[in-house]
């Protein structure tokens, strides 16, 4: 029997059986069709069963399916790195492969700590993060999400030390945001004065905390935070597992900032939603701290499927599709469409790139809305009382109009 992720099996109805995907749609064994309006947990950026990506996967599988990455390299991995270099800041040019978002973060956390240790400084053991962060489900990435995480409370006993900073929510018509930001900055300042020399890294989801509930931060705020921690020699990790690959309207969320991180974590959209693959990208300065004749300074970490060639080939093709003029034009259209539509009876409306979200008065009303929409062929997955739309980039204007129309109608009946 299958045990589902993030699911209370006792009260959740059986899963819907999907037999086929095509673009925005999923098709079931009983002949129904659902628009996947959350890109299947945010990974599926080009729509389902994209034929181009499917074709390169078939070709790569018949050419070289996998090879140990500690002793060999291959064209798909090298090509992927070259492609990503064209969109990354030039300082971020050392690439460590792993399998999913959690491991991409795990790698960054371990590298940041060992960076100082290799330098002879083993006092930097604390990580800094925002309230409500979500960085994955392994022990390290859970710990970095903090003690008040709504996801990981069962495992608090095992968490390492972190300092949590409040991060104000930015949404349409928010009041007193700057005062709240100033309060966060003062809190950060106090912590830095006290613990600054004991913190190894700041880890953040830049500008948009996904799993917290699509919580946005202002560019000016994050910029201040990064500048401040840098003054204490603290490394900066941007977890772009969710925000990467044009989700926020630019290739990376960090492209909105002047300050750049020491690490960026990528996964989710990397292969266009076809296969698990992840990257932790860092700088020459970090990389060189691990070069030594002393083997203990090695980064002793790896996964069986590190840099799987099929996944890398899928990622290369996904990148090509993503950087085409018409895809980028389409992304701008989705963004403009989200912005242009008002919704009645919703709270804290916020839109960032291809994502739009709002709150409803209760968890129950969010569940009711998604249940009714499911009957009408639209799949959403509320997070508590928050509803969000996060379509694949292939969605058409007509499809967006249809989804908003259905949603508006259901909202007015709630």
**Residues near ligand PLP (CB under 6 A):** 100-102, 105, 134-136, 205, 210-211, 239, 241-242, 267
Residue 144's contacts (CB-CB under 8 Å, 6 or more residues apart) are: 105, 109, 127, 129, 133, 135, 162, 203
Rounded Cα–Cα distance for residues 155 and 212 (Å): 18
Q: How far is the CB of 145 from ligand PLP (least distance, A)?
A: 9
For the CB of residue 25, give the shortest distance to ligand PLP in the complex, in Å.
23
H or E stretch at 238: strand 235-239
Q: Which is nearer to ligand PLP, 134 or 246 (CB)?
A: 134
The CB-of-360 to ligand PLP minimum distance in angstroms stands at 22
Structure tokens, 285: 């300065």
Query: Least distance to ligand PLP from the beta carbon of 136, Å?
Result: 4
Q: Which is nearer to ligand PLP, 198 or 250 (by Cβ)?
A: 250
Nearer to ligand PLP, 192 or 226 (CB): 226
Q: State the helix-helix crossing angle for 363-375 and 397-413, rounded to 10 degrees.
A: 130
Nearer to ligand PLP, 181 or 239 (CB): 239
Nearest CB to ligand PLP, comparing residues 116 and 238: 238
Nearer to ligand PLP, 380 or 410 (CB): 380
- The set of residues, in sequence order, having a beta carbon less than 8 Å from that of 31 and lying 6+ positions away, is none
Q: How far is the CB of 296 from ligand PLP (least distance, A)?
A: 29
CA-CA distance, 312 to 101, in Å (whole number)? 15
Q: In the complex, what is the shortest distance from the CB of residue 90 to ligand PLP, in angstroms, rounded to a whole number?
A: 24
> What is the three-state SS of 144-207?
CCCCCCCCCHHHHHHCCCEEEECCCCECCCCCCHHHHHHHHHHHHHHHHHHHHHHEEEEEECCC
Point out the residue whose Cβ comes nearest to ligand PLP.
101
């Amino acid at each position: 029997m299958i045990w589902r992720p993030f699911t209370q099996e006792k009260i959740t109805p059986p899963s819907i059986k999907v037999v086929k995907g095509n673009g925005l749609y999923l098709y079931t064994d009983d002949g129904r069709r659902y628009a996947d309006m959350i890109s299947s947990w945010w990974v599926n950026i080009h729509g389902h069963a994209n034929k181009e990506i499917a074709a390169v996967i078939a070709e790569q599988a018949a050419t070289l399916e996998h090879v140990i990455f500690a002793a060999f390299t291959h064209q798909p991995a090298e090509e992927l790195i070259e492609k990503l270099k064209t969109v990354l800041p030039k300082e971020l040019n050392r690439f460590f492969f792993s399998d999913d978002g959690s491991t991409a973060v795990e790698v960054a956390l371990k590298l940041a700590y060992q960076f100082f240790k290799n330098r002879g400084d083993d006092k930097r053991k604390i990580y800094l993060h925002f309230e409500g962060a979500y960085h994955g489900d392994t022990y390290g990435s859970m710990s970095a999400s903090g003690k008040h995480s709504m996801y990981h409370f069962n495992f608090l006993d095992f968490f390492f030390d972190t300092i949590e900073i409040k991060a104000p929510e930015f949404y349409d018509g928010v009041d007193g945001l700057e005062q709240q930001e100033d309060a966060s900055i003062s809190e950060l300042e106090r912590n830095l004065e006290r613990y600054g020399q004991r913190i190894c890294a700041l880890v953040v989801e830049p500008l948009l905390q996904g799993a917290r509930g699509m919580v946005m931060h202002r560019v000016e705020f994050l910029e201040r935070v990064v500048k401040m921690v840098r003054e204490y020699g603290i490394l900066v990790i941007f977890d772009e597992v969710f925000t990467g690959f044009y989700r926020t309207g630019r290739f990376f969320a960090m492209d909105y900032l002047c300050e750049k991180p020491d690490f960026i974590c990528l996964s989710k959209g990397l292969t266009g939603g076809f296969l698990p693959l992840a990257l932790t990208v860092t700088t020459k300065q970090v990389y060189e701290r691990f070069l030594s004749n002393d083997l203990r300074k090695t980064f002793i970490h790896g996964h069986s499927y590190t840099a799987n060639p099929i996944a890398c080939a899928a990622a290369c093709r996904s990148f090509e599709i993503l950087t085409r003029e018409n895809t980028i034009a389409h992304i701008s259209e989705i963004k403009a469409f989200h912005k242009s539509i008002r919704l009645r009876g919703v709270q804290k409306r916020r839109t960032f790139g291809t994502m739009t979200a709002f709150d409803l008065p209760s968890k129950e009303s969010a569940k009711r809305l998604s249940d009714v929409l499911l009957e009408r062929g639209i799949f959403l997955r509320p997070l508590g009382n928050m509803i969000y739309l996060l379509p694949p980039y292939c969605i058409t204007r007509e499809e967006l109009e249809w989804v908003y129309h259905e949603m508006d109608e259901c909202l007015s009946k709630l």
